[in-house]
Chains A and B, each alone.
Chain A
């Protein structure tokens, strides 16, 4: 089925460790996004990519880096994880589908930093 595939689903890190969250979409969308979800704060935009080769900061970019490897893939990297980065992370992509702009979400990654 078409959609957004996000891995891993769960991850536990120690403070200072690094990791990369992977995201891929097969809908030929130009735009891709990374959000984090924290209790009482909704979903906040970390980074987004309007097209292959471009990335821009969102509301909460500090402590993260991203790579738009190609049109399909958009990865999020934590270079030195901190407890404040404990959160649920969502990847999303958007494009023009059935005459409407539509946003599709991955299933989320629960990240705990100890």
Chain B
């Protein structure tokens, strides 16, 4: 069974600085996606970034980038130039693909506070 581990329950960063959120996962599959979701106080689940396992190049979306280390099964999220609106819970997630159903498995989350 796949598992996703986020070892940082809470983190804090000063506005305009850079922060990295950690995520590790365990799987025996070769074909999968990895995701970072943001959940602000509104409770909405917002996709931040995704990474296909077969791609060696790290995904980037504006201020958000990942460090994907497939052999180490590590998938960290870097937020550059942190903004107050980045304050939220961040979830790392794993999805196997190619089967009948692609289930999304979540980590326990990291609560990020951006300080002014």
Contacts and interface: CB of A to CB of B under 8 A. Distances in A.
A94 B108 contact: no
Contacts of B91: 42-43
A50 B100 CA distance: 7
A62 to B, nearest CB: 18
**Residues of A contacting B: mostly:** strand
Contacts, number: 51
Contacts of A102: 47
Contact of A33 (B9, B47, B50, B104): B104
Given A88-B43, A101-B95, A45 B101 contact: no
Nearest to A49: B101
Interface of A: 31, 33, 35, 40-45, 48, 50, 56, 58, 88, 90, 92, 94, 100-103, 105, 107-108, 110
B106 interface: yes
Given A40-B9, A42-B91, A31 B101 contact: yes
Nearest to B4: A42
A40 B108 contact: yes
B103 to A, nearest CB: 6
Interface string B13-51: 000000000000000000001010000000111010010
A84 B6 CA distance: 24
B104 A94 contact: yes
B102 interface: yes
Contacts of B103: 33, 45, 48, 58
Nearest to B97: A101
B27 to A, nearest CB: 16
Contacts of B35: 103
